[in-house]
Chain A
Amino acid sequence: MLRRIREMLKKEFIQMLRDKRMRFVLVGPPLIQLIVFGYAANFDIRHIKVGVYDLDQSALSRGLLARFERSGYFDLVRRVADEKEIAPLLDRRDVTAVIQINHRFEADLKSMKSAQVQLILDGTDSNTASVVLTYSNAILGDFAEETLRDRLMHVDAVLASYRPKVVIEQRAWFNPNLESRPYFVPGIIATLVLIVTMSLTAMAVVREREVGTLEQLMVTPIRPIELIIGKTVPFAVVGLLDAALIALLGVLWFDVPMTGNPLVLLLGAVLYLLSTLGLGLFLSTISATQQQSMLVSFFFTMPVMLLSGFTFPISSMPVWIQYLTYLNPLRYFLIVIRGVFLRGSGVVDLWPQLAAMALLGVVMMGLSALRFKKRIE
């Protein structure tokens, strides 16, 4: 039996690596994805383009605007001279927001009156817009407090020296600078392993059926279980190699910290592969042609990716979808992979995820193997 498996594996590896384009498909897309993802996947919001409609043109208004510029979050790229210019600027996305400071801003502040600053904000991209709102509120809040203190200084110097205030001492664990790249790059490993193993396994099996060589294999003394091992192991190996390559590049090129033990990652990856290969095998049993297997695997890939917490937080999803994500192996592997990379987690912290993946993997692989066996018999 072992000898047959060995021969089968040899044949599969030769078949997989013979085609030049196939060799590219195994390595090229993962690399391209890593590079594009590494640079593009970024939620860090800096240098927001802002227009300025300063009707006051006073020392105080310029001081306030300088605070916006100094914060590093805003680039004051446009000066607006007329209210009519604001709408086209936002329509064309030349700026994300316009700060409007009205006449008498300085005069009001100096005469102890209250002044207002308008922020006209493009809300289309709600994520960016709420960040802009937060930053602007913080800048203006500081400005308001200092103005208040200046006023008190005029009234009573002793009073002004008292400043009851709650300040925030912020500690972000695992990623002190709150950069999004260390969060996304490890995630790419998980999604790529899914794509490589699931869709290629499905396609490889279906192709063999389409060409008719599956029947030929069947008349040989190979048993179904040996056939399944032969069909899945090569892609598992490629998937693991891809994962290692991306992990290495992520650490060396994108400076993602690797704080945990890579062996935990390997363990997680192997358990995860059980599910993805099982899925691939399953897809091969429900599709008759390569075309169908591709469409079906795409149909599976997208929800698995988007409903995993890879880019969108699971806790914000509707409850019934949150339950659905418990069936998603990627959900668990992402926690494992991010845990190992960023939090330095070990098996002690990650055992629920590892156990869930093992369970899912055994069930998926088992059911698919049964179905596969039935179909070829």
Chain B
Amino acid sequence: MADRSGSAVSLTRLLAIARKEFIQLYRDPNSLAIIFVMPLLLLLLFGYAVTLDIKEVRVAVYDRDRSEKSRDFIHRFAQSSYFRMAADAQDYKALTRLINLREAQVGLVIPNDFSRSLDSGRSTAVQVLLDGSDANTANIILGYTRAVVQGYSQSVLFDYLGHQGITDRRLPVELRPRVWFNEELESKNYIVPGLIALIMAVIGALLTSLTIAREWERGTMEQLVATPVHKLELIIGKLIPYYLLAILDVAVAMGVGVLVFQVPFRGSLPVFFLLSSLFLFVVLGQGFLISVIAKNQMLANQMALISTFLPAFLLSGFMFSIANMPVVLRGITMLVPARHFVTILHGLFLKGIGLGVLWPEMAALLLFVTVIGALAHRRFSKTIT
């Protein structure tokens, strides 16, 4: 071992290993199908299914006033594209039931002095009942409700002032929002690039961790080591076929994102492939490292899932905003490769930024590659000798 490790890395041997690995993969149609079909299927399914947009909120109303004003008020909800009138409740109990059965997501109770109060220039309180168990949805619904109520409130005020002879119906201050990068605020534009990162993080690590763990279990790794192959050649040679397959996956996924899901791509393609390659080396290397440590398929699988899927799902910013996490957890997210890749993909797809802005993420990925490579190299020689 010692005499070989000093010799230079030979390209011929490296390519021979890569070729062997390719042939092995080629003969295993099951794995190939998984490599190609799984990412695509997952992306398509989730791209369609997974959305945080909340539209057509079902409203139930218990109108105790039954006046022209209260009907006008309800009409504003019906007109808004965010709401859909689900039911008219005859009493409070019926309203409660509608919410409990989830037939209505929000319930409005209009007090019986609604129009009287407004006509005489006083304020009136509309009760808004929500099922708070899904806090995010409830918050968004509350926001929509507030917007409709505020709009109505303002028009009532202006009507009132009109009667008093003040005809200027403009508000003194208005908010002019300008939304950048995702102008229509569509969650698919945010979720699809994140999904690509999530799926590739898992597939990448699973691929290498399993195939190499299998080689250990069957004893063929020892046979390989006994040949005059340099261990660096072995590591790189084994990774090359998987890298090529994975980068193909990334390209297809990106195509699907742009063509099927209409996510804009505003960055540069070379930068996209450069940074994607870097990320794939990290996750493939991670899988390799796991397989060297675990040497057992069942454990390798568990480790790969725990170290890739969960962090990529929870700590990458794909779903949950990192800025909201406790400081310790925020620090930990820096160690999650997918976090950096999610940032990169959002930047390239939506913001159209380049390496000038993304260099810290690129540096982080480079650091991961180096550390994982060094660790894999060391653990590998230890386990053989």
On A, residues with C-beta under 8 Å from B are: 21-22, 25, 29, 32-33, 36-37, 39-49, 64, 88, 90-93, 96, 109, 114-131, 133-138, 140-141, 143-145, 147-148, 151-152, 155-156, 159, 162-176, 178-180, 182-183, 203, 207, 290-292, 294-295, 298-299, 302-303, 306-307, 311-313, 315-318, 321, 338, 342-343, 349
Residues of B near A144 (CB, < 8 A) are: 171-174
Is B319 engaged at the interface, CB distance under 8 Å to the other chain? yes
Check if B124 sits within 8 Å of A166, measured CB to CB. Answer: yes
Closest to A175 in B: B132
Closest to A136 in B: B175
Check if A164 sits within 8 Å of B133, measured CB to CB. Answer: no
Q: Roughly how many angstroms separate A176 CA and B145 CA in the complex, as a whole number?
A: 17
Check if A172 sits within 8 Å of B121, measured CB to CB. Answer: no
Q: Roughly how many angstroms separate A117 CA and B297 CA in the complex, as a whole number?
A: 59
Residues of A near B154 (CB, < 8 A) are: 141, 145
Contact with A290, one of B172, B297, B350 (Cβ below 8 angstroms):
B297
Contact with B310, one of A33, A291, A299, A317 (Cβ below 8 angstroms):
A33
Check if B150 sits within 8 Å of A138, measured CB to CB. Answer: yes
Distance in Å: Cβ of B314 to nearest Cβ of chain A: 5
Check if A134 sits within 8 Å of B146, measured CB to CB. Answer: yes
Q: Roughly how many angstroms separate A41 CA and B299 CA in the complex, as a whole number?
A: 26
Check if A165 sits within 8 Å of B351, measured CB to CB. Answer: no
Is B16 engaged at the interface, CB distance under 8 Å to the other chain? no
Check if B160 sits within 8 Å of A126, measured CB to CB. Answer: no
Is B179 engaged at the interface, CB distance under 8 Å to the other chain? yes
Q: Roughly how many angstroms separate A351 CA and B149 CA in the complex, as a whole number?
A: 37
- Known A124-B190, A163-B122; judge A312-B174 contact (CB<8 A): no
- Known A166-B149, A167-B126; judge A117-B173 contact (CB<8 A): yes
- Known A36-B310, A165-B156, A295-B210; judge A124-B353 contact (CB<8 A): no
Check if A166 sits within 8 Å of B156, measured CB to CB. Answer: yes
Q: Roughly how many angstroms separate A303 CA and B31 CA in the complex, as a whole number?
A: 19
Residues of B near A39 (CB, < 8 A) are: 325-326, 329
Known: A166-B125, A167-B126, A173-B130. 18 other contacts (CB 8 A): A21-B299, A36-B311, A42-B324, A44-B324, A96-B323, A126-B189, A143-B173, A166-B124, A166-B126, A167-B149, A168-B128, A169-B126, A169-B128, A172-B131, A174-B133, A306-B49, A317-B49, A317-B51
User: Which of B40-48, B222-230, B242-250, B252-260 has 4 or more CB atoms under 8 Å from chain A?
Assistant: B40-48
Contact with A170, one of B100, B142, B306 (Cβ below 8 angstroms):
B142
Check if B52 sits within 8 Å of A134, measured CB to CB. Answer: no
Residues of A near B98 (CB, < 8 A) are: none
Q: Roughly how many angstroms separate A143 CA and B166 CA in the complex, as a whole number?
A: 20
Check if B118 sits within 8 Å of A166, measured CB to CB. Answer: yes
Closest to B187 in A: A126
Check if B298 sits within 8 Å of A318, measured CB to CB. Answer: no
Residues of A near B2 (CB, < 8 A) are: none
Chain B 1-42: CB-based contact to A (< 8 A → 1; otherwise 0): 000000000000000000000000000001100100010001
Contact with B210, one of A171, A176, A294 (Cβ below 8 angstroms):
A294
On B, residues with C-beta under 8 Å from A are: 30-31, 34, 38, 42, 45-46, 48-55, 73, 99-100, 105, 117-140, 142-147, 149-150, 152-154, 156-157, 160-161, 164, 166, 170-187, 189-190, 202, 206, 210-211, 214, 296-299, 301-302, 305-306, 309-311, 314-315, 319-321, 323-326, 329, 343, 346-347, 350-351, 353, 357
29 residue pairs A–B, Cβ–Cβ below 8 Å: A36-B315, A44-B324, A116-B174, A116-B176, A117-B175, A118-B176, A119-B176, A120-B180, A121-B179, A127-B187, A137-B150, A144-B174, A148-B171, A165-B124, A165-B153, A167-B153, A168-B146, A170-B128, A175-B135, A179-B135, A182-B133, A290-B298, A291-B211, A295-B206, A295-B210, A298-B202, A312-B52, A313-B52, A315-B105
* Interface SS majority for chain B: helix
Distance in Å: Cβ of B110 to nearest Cβ of chain A: 9
Contact with B137, one of A88, A137, A313 (Cβ below 8 angstroms):
A313
Distance in Å: Cβ of A333 to nearest Cβ of chain B: 15
Closest to B353 in A: A91
Contact with A25, one of B49, B128, B297, B299 (Cβ below 8 angstroms):
B299
Check if B131 sits within 8 Å of A312, measured CB to CB. Answer: no
Contact with A40, one of B105, B184, B320, B346 (Cβ below 8 angstroms):
B320
Check if A183 sits within 8 Å of B133, measured CB to CB. Answer: yes
Residues of B near A115 (CB, < 8 A) are: 172-174
Residues of B near A134 (CB, < 8 A) are: 140, 143-144, 146-147
Check if B139 sits within 8 Å of A131, measured CB to CB. Answer: yes
Check if B53 sits within 8 Å of A123, measured CB to CB. Answer: no
Residues of B near A138 (CB, < 8 A) are: 143, 146, 150
Check if B177 sits within 8 Å of A136, measured CB to CB. Answer: yes
Closest to A102 in B: B176
Residues of B near A129 (CB, < 8 A) are: 179, 182, 185
Contact with A43, one of B51, B135, B187, B202 (Cβ below 8 angstroms):
B135
Closest to B56 in A: A315
Check if A147 sits within 8 Å of B156, measured CB to CB. Answer: no
